[in-house]
Amino acid sequence: MFSLQDKVAIVTGAASGLGKEIALLFARQGAKVVAADYNKEALDQFKSQISTDLTISPVAGDISNLEDVKNIYAHAQSEFGGVDIVVNNAGVMDKLEPIGDLSDEVYDKVINTNLKGTFYMMREAVKIFEKKRAGTIVNIASIAGLEGGRAGAAYTASKHGIIGLTKNTAYFYTKANIRVNVIAPGAMKTNIMSGNIDLSNISDLVKSMLSTQGNQKVADPSEVANVALFLASDEASFVNGAVVVADGGWTTY
């Protein structure tokens, strides 16, 4: 397995789902991990489950709030003396609504968290990485960032934006030895949809999109976490600005 020995990593949305799997995997591979999440209750529960042989320091923070973002980086500095890797995983789902049904409230929440929050985290990371001329960012998008009909309008827009930010930042900062890549997962067994969707009220088209008919596979978060580990490691030293699709073949159809 790829080593992250003596690296310091920030993982957002780390209290559950994919973020939790990434935080645990990185720590098992030798990294010191700052596990950031806005859900304090979930974060406390995660903290109680951390093995004593893993170096994981939880911190509460909402990435759509710039002061919280700065506090996450300050926490990494005070706990571990800096940061080498940033994984922007935190995100929220929309209600699978097309643009005509999309409210300002839902649009703003999704864009502010998924896109603006990732922007805040990346901007702070680049400031640090430029000074030491080294650093790695791994962003989590979705196949909704590549396709038009895999989610609602707000989520789709946010994930397309993350892919664009990734490619642009990778290009402009490659000479500073900063690598920026993005993973586009397909369906995963996580709680991102909890509380957002009443499946009894959505269209047959959307039900079909969410279903596991045909060849669509639903990933365990650990399968996507392995991709993040590779991209964060030195073994991926020549991978920059890449969109790595991890969807079990869903987008082949």
Mean pLDDT for back-to-back runs of 10 residues, the chain (253 residues): 93 97 98 97 94 96 98 98 98 94 97 98 98 98 92 96 98 98 87 50 51 63 96 98 93 80
pLDDT for 141:
98
Q: In terms of Cα–Cα distance, which of 79, 71, 166, 61 is closest to 118? A: 166
Q: For 8-252, which CATH superfamily applies?
A: NAD(P)-binding Rossmann-like Domain (3.40.50.720)
In the three-class reduction of DSSP (H, G, I as helix; E, B as strand; rest coil), residue 137 is classed as strand
Instruction: Give me 182's structure tokens.
Output: 């993005």
pLDDT for 252:
82
Say how far apart CA 114 and CA 245 lie, in whole Å: 18
pLDDT for 155:
96
* pLDDT tens-digit readout, 30-82: 999 999 999 999 999 999 999 999 999 999 999 999 999 999 999 999 999 99
- Percentage of the residues of the chain whose pLDDT score is greater than 90: 81
Annotated catalytic, 171?
A: no
Going from the C-alpha of 8 to that of each of 49, 80, 182, 205, the distances in angstroms are: 20, 7, 19, 43
pLDDT for 241:
98
Q: Work out the angle between the directed axes of helices 117-132 and 153-173 (0-180°, nearest 10).
A: 10
pLDDT for 139:
98
In the three-class reduction of DSSP (H, G, I as helix; E, B as strand; rest coil), residue 238 is classed as coil
pLDDT for 199:
46
pLDDT for 195:
47
- Residue-range domain boundaries for the chain: 8-252
Q: Rounded to two decimals, what is the model's pTM?
A: 0.91
Say how far apart CA 193 and CA 185 lie, in whole Å: 15
52 sits in the region (left: phi over 0; alpha: psi -120 to 50; else beta) called: alpha
In the three-class reduction of DSSP (H, G, I as helix; E, B as strand; rest coil), residue 49 is classed as helix
pLDDT for 214:
54
List, in sequence order, every residue forming a beta bridge with 131; answer none if it has no partner.
none
Residues whose CB falls within 8 Å of the CB of residue 177, separated by 6 or more in sequence, listed in order:
129, 133, 134, 135
pLDDT for 205:
47
Catalytic residue among 38, 73, 120, 155: 155
Say how far apart CA 211 and CA 234 lie, in whole Å: 37
pLDDT for 150:
83
